[in-house]
Structure 1
Amino acid sequence: MKSTSITCRALALAVVLAASACTAPVQPRSAVPASPTPRPSGVAALPAPTGRHPVGHDILHLTDRSRTDPWEPAAGARALRVTLWYPARTREGAAAPYMSAKESELLLKGGRVGTAAAWDVLSRTRTHAIKDAPPAGEPGSLPLVVLSPGWTKPVSTLTALAEELASQGYVVAGIDHTYESYATTLADGRIAECVACDFDTDFGFQSRVVRSRAADVSFVLDRLTGSAWSGSGLIDPGRIAMVGQSLGGASTIAAMTGDPRVRAGVNMDGTTYARIPKTGLARPVLFLGNPAHTPGGRDLSWERDWKLLTGWKRWLVFSGGEHQSFTDTPLMGTALGLSSTAVLTGPRAVELTRTYVTAFLDRHLRDRPGPLLEGRSAAYPEVTFCSVAAKSCR
C-alpha cells in the first residue's frame, strides 16, 4: 500500500500557528499577550465538558464496499475510522487517548511544526471521555452530530467540542477521512498517511475532496442508523446535523446538498467549495468565521452562497480569532513550546465554539430556541453578527 510523508503545499497549516490574520477590533477580555518563548509543559489538557452526562468514547472501523478509495485505489474499498463520543452510563474507567504517539509524530512533522517537546507530546493530551464506556439513553432518543476536520488534520483536533456535545446529550461521530490526514490508524494497526496531498495543487482538487467527504458522511449515516455500533438503537435518525472546520466546513455544505438526512449544518471557517444548487438550500446553516470571513473580505464564497441559503441562517465572526480558533489547536501551544499570534486565547476560543455550536444544535435538533443566536451577547462580546447587505459584522 502506498504511503507518503510529503507535506501538503497549497493548503497545509501549521498545527499550532494559524494562517489567517486578525483584522477586526479585539475585546479587552481576550487580550492576553502570548509569551514569545513559552516553555514546553509536556502535556496539554482539554477544558472539562459542562453538560450533565458522563462522556463515553468508542472507535469504529467501517468499510464502504460500494466504492473504491478515491485517493489510493490499490487499497480497495473505502475504509474509514469513526470516533464516537456519547452520553455514557458511568464516569469510571480509563480516559480515552487523544491520539497515538505515532499519530502525534506524523501530525507535527507533516505540519512542519518545530517543537522543543517530544514528538509524542500530543498523545499525552488529557481528555475527559471514558474509553469503551457503555452508552446511555432511551431507544431513538439521541440526536446525532457528524464532525469533519480540516485538511490534513485528524478528527481528534475537534475533541473539546465533541466531548462538550456528548455531555449535553448528543451522539457525536467524528470521521477521519482516510488518506487526507497526516496519520489515520486503520483497523489492522497500519497508519494511512496523506496520499491525497500528492494532488492538492490539481485543478478542482477541493471540490473533489468535498464530494468524497460527502460520500463518506452518507455511508457513515447508513451504518450508524443501522446496527454498526452497540448504541445505534439510541440514535434518532430524524435528528442529524453536521459540523466541520475548514475543508470539513465546506464538506458540511456538500453533505447537506447531497443527503437530506443532514437537517442542519455548521461551517466553521471553511471556504465553501461545494456549490449550492440554484434552487437553494432551505435547511438551517450557521457560518462561524474568523475576521477574514467578514462580508466583503478575502473569501467571497460565503457571500456568494448567502443568497442561496433560503432557510434559517446566521453568519458570526469571532473577533481576535484565527483559522484554528475553532479547533483544539490553540490549547496546545504551551505543551509544544510555541507561541500564537491570536488575540483570542485557546480556552476562550473553545468556550465560544462550544457555546454557539451547542446553541445552534439545541435550536434545530431539539426545538430549544434561545436569545444567543438573535444578537450580540454581553457575556460573549467577541462574537459579532454579520450583515451581507451592510458588508460588516457588529
Structure 2
Amino acid sequence: MTTGIRRRTAVAALTVLALLGAPAVSAQALGRPAPAHAAPLELPRPTGPYAVGSQVLHLTDHDRADPWVPEAGDRELMVSVHYPARSGGAGSPAAYMDTEEARLMLAQRGLDGVVPAATVAATTTHARTGARPAPGRFPLVLLSPGFGTPRATLTSLAEDLASNGFVVAGVDHAYETTGTAFPGGRILTCAACDAVEAAPDDAASAAVLRSVSAGRAEDLGFVLDRLTGPRPAWNNSRMIDGRRVAAVGHSIGGNAAASTMLADPRVDAGVNMDGTFFDPVPASGLGGRPFLMLGTDAGHHPGGEDASWHEAWQRLDGWKRWLTVKDSGHFTFTDTPWLAEQFGLPVDPEAPLAGDRSTEITRDYVAAFLDLALKNRRQPLLDGPTGRNPEVVFQQP
C-alpha cells in the first residue's frame, strides 16, 4: 500500500474503527490477559435539563439505488433519533448497539479477543425508548459518523445534545460501517471500505472518499425530508423546527456536514470533527453560513497538518472557528476514549487526553456552537481561550 492518502484512509479511517485508538493487537500479543471488567460499561450522563428519548428508524430512499451495492436495490439508512423528553422515567432503556455490530467493529481492530462484544453492545445509555416528548419545538441536528464506524460511537454526544434541547438524528449509511443491523436480521458490512482498498493509488482513493461525502449529503438531505416533510417517518416530528437545522459529523462525516450544507440550503450550520475535506469547500464558500472545525492538535492528522483544513478555512465565508485539542487523537471526539478507560485498555501515547476531558470538551464546544448558530445565544466559550479548557487552542491561520 502506498503512503499519503491511502495510508491515512486505509489505516486511520478503516482500521481505527473500534473502541479507542488502542493498538490493534490481541491480549496474548501484549503478553497479558484481557482486561477484566466486572461492572457494565456506561456512557457519561447528559448535562442538560431534559430527559432523553430515543427511537430507531429504518428509512429507504426509493429514488436512489445503493451506490456501493447497486444489486441490493434502493438506498437504506438506519437512523437513531434522540430527542428532549419529559422526566418521569417512561419507556425502556435504549440499546447501545447490536452484539453483531459490536463484534464486527472490534474484529476490525483486532480487539475481538480483548473486549467482549456483548459487553460493548450492552453499554448503559441514558435514553429511553417510548419516552414522552418534551413540549415545544426544537432545532434538528443531523449526525454522521466516521468512515467505517457505526453511529453508536457518537451516542454520548447525541444524548447530551438532546438533553440540551436538540432533536438529533444519527445516521448509519448502508455499506459504510464495519457492520450495521437492518430489519430482517441483515448485517450490512463495509463495501465502501473495500472500494477504498481496491483503489489503485492515492488519487483514486481520494475520489472514492469524495463520493462518500457527497453521497452522505444526499442521505442527510433525504433524512431531513423524511423528518420534516408532509408525511414524516417519525411520529414525533412535530417537535422539530425545520427552520433550524445543522449537520455535524466525525471524520468523513464531518466532511459530509460541509457537503450537506453545499447541497441543501435548508441546513443552516455545520461541524467537522477531525475529518479531511475530501469533498472540498468550494471557492464560493457555504453561503455565509456558520461552520466549526474541531480537530486534533498540531502534528496530528487532520486538525494540525491537513492541507484541506487550511483550504477550507480560507473558503469558509460565514462565522467560523478552527479549534484544536492538545493531546487528542482522531477518536477523541467519539465515545471510544471514555469506554476504553472503563475497560482498562492501554492509553494511546499519541493521544493521552483522558476520556472524561475528551467527552467534556467535545460536548461543550459542539453544544456551544449549535446554541449560537441555531438558537442565537451568545457563547463566550467560543470567543477565545479559557483557563477552564487549557487543551483547546484557537487557530488563527
Q: Does the 8 A contact of 2:43 with 2:339 survive in 1?
A: no
The verdict on how the C-alpha distance between 1:335 and 1:371 changes in structure 2, with shifts beyond 3 A counting, is closer
Match of 1:129 in 2: 127
2-structure distance, mates of 1:261, 1:339: 43
2-structure distance, mates of 1:19, 1:311: 37
Farther off after superposition, 106-115 or 311-320: 106-115
Question: Which consecutive segments of 4 or more residues in structure 1 shift more than 6 A?
Answer: none
Q: Which has the higher contact order (CA 8 A, sep 6+)?
A: 1
The verdict on how the C-alpha distance between 1:297 and 1:290 changes in structure 2, with shifts beyond 3 A counting, is closer
1:354 and 2:363 correspond = yes
2-structure distance, mates of 1:162, 1:256: 20
**2:283 is aligned with what amino acid?**
K
Q: Does the 8 A contact of 2:274 with 2:293 survive in 1?
A: yes
SS at match of 2:254: helix
Farther off after superposition, 124-133 or 155-164: 124-133
The verdict on how the C-alpha distance between 1:293 and 1:265 changes in structure 2, with shifts beyond 3 A counting, is farther
The verdict on how the C-alpha distance between 1:60 and 1:231 changes in structure 2, with shifts beyond 3 A counting, is same
Q: Does the 8 A contact of 1:286 with 1:314 survive in 2?
A: yes
**2:63 is aligned with what amino acid?**
S
Match of 1:80 in 2: 77
Q: Does the 8 A contact of 1:296 with 1:303 survive in 2?
A: no
Farther off after superposition, 295-304 or 118-127: 295-304
Match of 2:21 in 1: 18
1:370 and 2:366 correspond = no
The verdict on how the C-alpha distance between 1:37 and 1:347 changes in structure 2, with shifts beyond 3 A counting, is farther
Match of 1:319 in 2: 326
SS at match of 1:116: coil
Farther off after superposition, 297-306 or 176-185: 297-306
The verdict on how the C-alpha distance between 1:85 and 1:345 changes in structure 2, with shifts beyond 3 A counting, is same
Which of 282, 285, 291 is the matching residue for 1:277?
282
Cα drift, residue 297 of structure 1: 4.3
CA RMSD of aligned residues (A): 2.0
Cα drift, residue 103 of structure 1: 1.1
SS at match of 1:307: helix
2-structure distance, mates of 1:195, 1:328: 24
Which of 60, 65, 70 is the matching residue for 1:63?
60
Cα drift, residue 44 of structure 1: 1.7
1:175 and 2:178 correspond = no
Q: Which has the higher helix share?
A: 2
Q: For structure 1, which runs of at least 5 residues remain unmatched after alignment? A: 1-7, 21-35, 389-394
Which of 103, 106, 110 is the matching residue for 1:105?
103
Q: Does the 8 A contact of 1:185 with 1:191 survive in 2?
A: yes
Farther off after superposition, 373-382 or 92-101: 92-101
After superposition, the C-alpha distances for 1:65-114 in whole angstroms (9 at most, x for unaligned) are 00100011111000111100001124233210100111111111123225
Cα drift, residue 196 of structure 1: 1.4
Q: Does the 8 A contact of 1:49 with 1:163 survive in 2?
A: yes
Query: Percent identity over the alignment?
Result: 46
Q: Does the 8 A contact of 2:294 with 2:303 survive in 1?
A: no
The verdict on how the C-alpha distance between 1:380 and 1:119 changes in structure 2, with shifts beyond 3 A counting, is same
SS at match of 1:181: coil
1:231 and 2:240 correspond = no
Instruction: Report 1:186-197 matches (<5 A).
Output: 186-197=182-193
Which of 286, 292, 311 is the matching residue for 2:292?
286
After superposition, the C-alpha distances for 1:105-154 in whole angstroms (9 at most, x for unaligned) are 1111123225433232211211100122232222xx21000100001111
Match of 1:31 in 2: none
TM value normalised by structure 1: 0.88
SS at match of 1:159: helix
Cα drift, residue 293 of structure 1: 5.8
Number of residue equivalences: 364
SS at match of 2:283: coil
Q: Does the 8 A contact of 2:270 with 2:292 survive in 1?
A: yes
TM value normalised by structure 2: 0.87
Farther off after superposition, 42-51 or 255-264: 42-51
Q: For structure 2, which runs of at least 5 residues remain unmatched after alignment? A: 1-8, 24-31
2-structure distance, mates of 1:284, 1:293: 25
1-structure distance, mates of 2:132, 2:343: 34
Match of 1:266 in 2: 271
Q: Does the 8 A contact of 2:301 with 2:330 survive in 1?
A: no
Q: Does the 8 A contact of 2:304 with 2:324 survive in 1?
A: no
Cα drift, residue 296 of structure 1: 9.5
Q: Does the 8 A contact of 2:369 with 2:379 survive in 1?
A: no
2-structure distance, mates of 1:130, 1:67: 32
